[in-house]
């Protein structure tokens, strides 16, 4: 099926198990692993770049802004234009998980090869070889010490949760995900692992009636 839109071209090819989505068009860089291509928010598959405000250490132990440098490296890679991305899945924030190319170059592989992103081994091993070469050459994040971005994100979530600790009797968690606004009751299957980030609009509720009135729906489990 081919669908032509005014801003970008969206091609959806469905097989028995999944639908592959391809997007191309005007591109905007969000950070070192996220783009907006033709209006579609895309998270590059198989890599994890430092968070925008993250700092790393160089060979002498001095801090340097690896997060903002990763964003700049991504901007340089996509500058020629003609970015095209293809993927079959979405993450919890609704972003298309995709491999992206410009001028025949795999953008994710280039970011890892430059030492501007980690190979996201928890999800894919596609760019491990490129990461090993970057390590040996001590490029980018490998010139000194760099904390994996997922650890940075976990620390931020923990701080946000601590700051947003519920009032007594207000322990219902209002979570926002790809499935929409869902509230979790204490004792529910996903309650313990659900974190509340008030910076994303998530919140605590004191009753189910309050949660429903605010537009949240109850978790199915």
Question: What kind and span of H or E run contains 130?
Answer: helix 128-137
- For position 164, what pLDDT does the model report? 58
- Domain layout of the chain by residue ranges: 2-148, 164-218
Question: What kind and span of H or E run contains 73?
Answer: helix 66-78
Q: Which of 148, 149, 146, 174 is nearest to 161 (CA)?
A: 174
pLDDT class of 197 with cuts at 50, 70, 90: confident
Place of tokens 């801090």: 63
Q: Concatenated DSSP letters for 138-179?
A: T-GGGGS----HHHHHHHHHHHHHHHTPPPTT--EEEEEETT
Residues 21-41, mean pLDDT to the nearest whole number: 95
- For position 12, what pLDDT does the model report? 47
Residue pair 51/152 in contact (Cβ under 8 Å)? The answer is: yes
| Chain CA centroid to CA 30, Å | 10
Residues 71-83, mean pLDDT to the nearest whole number: 95
E strands of the chain, at which residues? Answer: 2-4, 9-14, 19-24, 27-31, 34-37, 40-44, 47-48, 56-57, 63-64, 84-90, 96-102, 105-106, 118-119, 172-177, 180-184, 203-205, 217-218
Most confident of 10-19, 41-50, 89-98: 41-50
- For position 181, what pLDDT does the model report? 93
| pLDDT tens digits along 78-120 | 999 999 999 999 998 899 999 999 999 999 999 999 999 999 9
Please report, rounded to a whole number, the percentage of residues in the chain having pLDDT higher than 90.
Answer: 67
Q: Classify domain 2-148 at the CATH topology level.
A: OB fold (Dihydrolipoamide Acetyltransferase, E2P) (2.40.50)
């Amino acid at each position: 099926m081919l669908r032509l839109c005014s801003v970008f071209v969206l091609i959806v090819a469905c097989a028995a198990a999944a639908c592959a989505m391809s997007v191309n068009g005007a591109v905007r860089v969000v950070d070192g692993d996220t783009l907006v291509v033709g209006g579609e928010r895309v998270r590059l598959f198989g890599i994890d770049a430092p968070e925008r405000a993250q700092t790393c250490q160089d060979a002498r132990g001095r801090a340097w802004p690896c997060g903002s440098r990763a964003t700049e490296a991504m901007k340089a890679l996509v500058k020629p234009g003609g970015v095209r991305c293809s993927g079959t899945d979405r993450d919890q924030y609704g972003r298309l998980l995709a491999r992206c190319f410009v001028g025949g170059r795999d953008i994710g592989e280039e970011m890892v090869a430059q030492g501007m992103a980690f190979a996201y081994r928890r999800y894919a091993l596609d760019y491990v070889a490129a990461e090993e070469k970057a390590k040996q050459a001590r490029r980018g994040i490998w010139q000194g010490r760099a904390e994996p971005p997922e650890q940075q994100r976990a620390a931020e979530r923990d701080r946000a949760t601590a700051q947003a600790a519920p009032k007594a009797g207000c322990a219902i968690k209002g979570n926002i995900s790809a499935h929409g606004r869902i509230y979790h009751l204490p004792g529910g299957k996903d309650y313990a692992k659900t974190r509340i980030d008030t910076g994303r609009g998530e919140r605590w509720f004191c009753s189910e009636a309050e949660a429903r009135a605010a537009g949240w729906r109850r978790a199915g489990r």
